[in-house]
Structure 1
Amino acid sequence: MSERIGPPLRGDERETLRAFLDFHRATLALKCEGLNDEQLRRQASPPSTLSLLGLVRHMTEVERTWFRRVMGKENVGLVYSEETDYQAAYDASGATWGEAVAAWEAEVEASRRIEREAESLDVTAYNARWEEEVSLRLVMHHMIHEYARHNGHADLLREAVDGVTGV
């Protein structure tokens, strides 16, 4: 994942959305930095079974779904479930950082490509789950929201694993 760079203070809408999304992607990567697989799999906030590695796997599915499946109209399944079970990604019990980060980075790159190739933020695609057309603008905002929400979880998980805060 790339280094974390703040969004432009005077960028246009698309540049600003792109930068905020990349900022949050980099934040999740930083939350996982320096931990081994066992620490990344640790379910550190009982009774929740959530782990840092589970969050990375979940965000892999979110990237794939919103960008490749919805906006890109690609006929691809989920990464971690053949039954389209979005919760399956959270089970990181047998996962490793190497496989999880490779899958996540591949989906992020596909997402970036689809966003770059879109004519504008007004481009729409059908979201079968919502049974509605959605714009790239909505998808970008939704992704920022999704990462920000889960980065809050990652803050708590990381602190519980090794006491690190403030990343």
Structure 2
Amino acid sequence: MTSEERPEPALDAAERPMLEGWLDYHRETLARKCAGLTDAQLREASVPPSAFTLLGLVRHLTEVERFWFREILAGEELPDLYSTRENPDGDFAVTETDTWAETESAWRAETAAARKSAAAYGLDDFSQGVGSAGEPFNLRWIYTHMIEEYARHNGHADLVRERVDGATGV
């Protein structure tokens, strides 16, 4: 799917397709916020000295997809991608060698893996993994949280995109 193909969420879907539709809508909204920019623009900080960039945001959401759908929901034990215990903000620490092509590829791979993990569960099914307080989450909660996560960060992406090239409403 390309950013030009952002799916509009259905107005009359059942609960699961509605949740999946809104999550896909917000995923593709993020892709649209990044579309048409160079790697250098995607690495441009929102308001220096902040390290917050569009590329870092996509890396962050790559880790969020991986964490909630694979590590928490499916109970997979996976190696770190960008962040570590020693560097918890490593997802936002982009360098001159980080590119949109590799970042988008990793993000798209994790969203595909997230869909595959979620397909094995019903909305009321609890996760194999647990949160920091030892609690499991049902898939409905994870979908709702992910929609909130993307919606919030898409607001951040609006501001960064406007700062980078003046585009709004992308």
Normalised by the length of structure 1, the TM-score is 0.94
Structure with the higher fraction of residues in strand conformation: 1
Say if 2:123 and 2:139, in contact at 8 Å, map to a contact too: yes
Say if 2:84 and 2:90, in contact at 8 Å, map to a contact too: no
Structure 1 position 47, deviation (Å): 4.2
Tell me, which stretches of 5 or more residues in structure 2 are unaligned? Answer: none
The structure 1 residue matched to 2:123, chosen from 121, 126, 148, is 121
- The sequence identity of aligned pairs, in percent, is 48
The structure 2 residue matched to 1:100, chosen from 95, 98, 103, is 103
Say if 1:57 and 1:104, in contact at 8 Å, map to a contact too: yes
1:139-158 → structure 2 map (5 Å cutoff): 139-158=142-161
Structure 1 position 5, deviation (Å): 1.3
Check if 1:30 corresponds to 2:32.
yes
Normalised by the length of structure 2, the TM-score is 0.92
SS in 2 for 1:42: coil
Q: Structure 1 residues 105, 84: CA separation in 2 closer, same or farther (over 3 Å shift)?
A: farther
Q: Distance in 1 between matches of 2:88 and 2:81?
A: 10
Q: Distance in 2 between matches of 1:135 and 1:86?
A: 26
1:1-167 → structure 2 map (5 Å cutoff): 1-2=1-2, 3-83=5-85, 85-94=87-96, 95-118=98-121, 120-125=122-127, 126-167=129-170
Which whole-Å deviations, capped at 9, do the CAs of 1:79-114 have from their partners, x for residues lacking one? Answer: 113437441101112411111111100000000111
Q: How many pairs are equivalent?
A: 166
Q: Distance in 1 between matches of 2:113 and 2:161?
A: 28
Q: Which amino acid aligns with 1:145?
A: E
Structure 1 position 55, deviation (Å): 0.3
Tell me, which stretches of 5 or more residues in structure 1 are unaligned? Answer: none
Q: Distance in 2 between matches of 1:28 and 1:97?
A: 13
